[in-house]
Amino acid sequence: MAKVIVGATPFEGHVGPVLTVAADLVRRGHDVVVYTGSRFEARALGTGARFQPLPPEADLDDRRLDSLFPLRATLPPGPAQLSFDFETFFLGQLPAQVRGLRALLARFPADVVVGELGFWSIPVLSLAAPPRERPTLVTLGSVPLLIQSADTPPFGAGLPPTPGEEARARNRAMNAEVRQLFAELQSFGAATLASLGVPIPDYLFDVPFRHTDHYLQLTVPSFEYPRADLPEHLRFVGTLPPPASRTYAEPAWWPELSADQPVVVVTQGTVANTDLTELVVPTVRALADLDVLVVAATARPDGPELVRRALIDVPDNVRLAGYVPFDRLLPHADALVTNGGYGGVQTALYHGVPLVVAGASEDKPEVAARVEWSGTGVNLHTGRPSPTEVRAAVRTVLSDPGYRAQAGIMAKEIGQHQPFDTIAEIIDASTIR
């Protein structure tokens, strides 16, 4: 039995994957402590693990970010918002996060620390001591690869790669421009890490990729742009299976999912769902007169009522819902309309469901670009599409069998990977080193 700490920035999309991993490690008999925000305590304990909250200075509530940090709401998606997020949520909370982790390690000497990309304590531990003097470090990649490469345009451009030396020269030039664009953030990161007694030896956004023992990207190679210069410790391990729902009460309309009518699911995920008029409402309007059953999975208790207010009249072919577990819903779906959350897209592909993606914030444009590049769906290139745009995209995905076929090929590739086994092998090896 190994002692394992799993840690995450206290945001829903960051915490979900580590809780899934924690549950599997507990099932395998390991002693696990979850280290993240206090609002996730009940869910962490539900995995069978123990729980340690982040120090108060780092214990954020991602449901209240705009009210706690009103400046963020005024920043457009892109470099300005990304810089704010890193300075405020990732680097800004890092000293407290590291202090709490070191205190936890002093009384719970873990063999392994598992964290997601935003859990910057992992590169700090990696830079602070050689492998023999610290736990084995495992980073889970739950967003598209940010690491710079001569083979791809920089993260954030939303551009797919093109072959040839001319393209590589362009990529190198664009990467240099991006490094200059984030020069102030680089300095902020260097000062933050220096305060913790470690250097910043690389471009800021490359640090979590290069300074860990095992970087496990939670997708398959066919969903990510090919690169010849990735670190050797970076591996594609497949998509985490969606957690099995056990207590969900199926609504009265559930049998309709098994009828002959195509099923289109629309969601804005669990975080970027504050304004449902961005995607859910336009999709409902767009598909109102099509011969499809529309399930609006709003992922919030008041979601159905908010959609009703926006629409006045709910179309007959629409079923409004709050939280619906995707492990039950997506096997019935013929298409998923989404704002591009990485986890939701991977879950759709796990089930072989083609996609229509409309995302503008965080990593969502890059997720949408990879959906388009991989042939598994349509990228609307906006976070607030019109009903006309959504309607055309959905009709394209439903009528062109190539999207469904490509999503099915991706699902087969996902099925060939066993991410839990890969993580378990690393854990087992750590106890005999």
Paired residues of 35 in beta bridges: 7, 52
CA atoms within 13 A on the CB side of 314: 16
Domain boundaries, the chain: 3-238+417-430, 254-415
Share of the chain above pLDDT 90, in %: 75
What pLDDT band is residue 256 in, cutting at 50, 70 and 90? very high
pLDDT digits (tens, 9 = 90+) for 39-95: 999 999 999 999 999 999 999 887 777 777 888 878 887 788 888 888 888 999 999
Pick the CATH number of 3-238+417-430 from 3.10.20.30, 3.40.50.300, 3.40.50.2000, 3.30.200.20: 3.40.50.2000
pLDDT value at 246 more than 80 = no
Contact 315, 387 (CB under 8 A): no
pLDDT digits (tens, 9 = 90+) for 350-373: 999 999 999 887 789 999 999 999
pLDDT value at 431 more than 90 = no
pTM (two decimals): 0.92
pLDDT at position 79, please? 81
Token pair for 176: 């240099």
Q: Tell me the CA distances in angstroms from 150 to 168, 198, 226, 234, one per residue in order.
A: 5, 27, 11, 17
pLDDT value at 419 more than 90 = yes
Fold of the CATH domain 254-415: Rossmann fold (3.40.50)
Closest by CA to 384, choosing from 350, 366, 354, 361, is 361
Paired residues of 114 in beta bridges: 6, 138
pLDDT at position 433, please? 59
Question: What's the mean pLDDT in 370-388?
Answer: 96
pLDDT at position 273, please? 67
What pLDDT band is residue 402 in, cutting at 50, 70 and 90? very high
pLDDT at position 147, please? 94
pLDDT at position 158, please? 83
CATH topology agreement for domains 3-238+417-430 and 254-415: yes
pLDDT digits (tens, 9 = 90+) for 328-356: 999 999 999 999 999 999 999 999 999 99
Mean pLDDT across the chain: 93
Q: Tell me the CA distances in angstroms from 415 to 147, 241, 333, 338, 354, one per residue in order.
A: 26, 10, 19, 23, 16
pLDDT digits (tens, 9 = 90+) for 299-324: 888 888 888 988 888 999 999 998 89
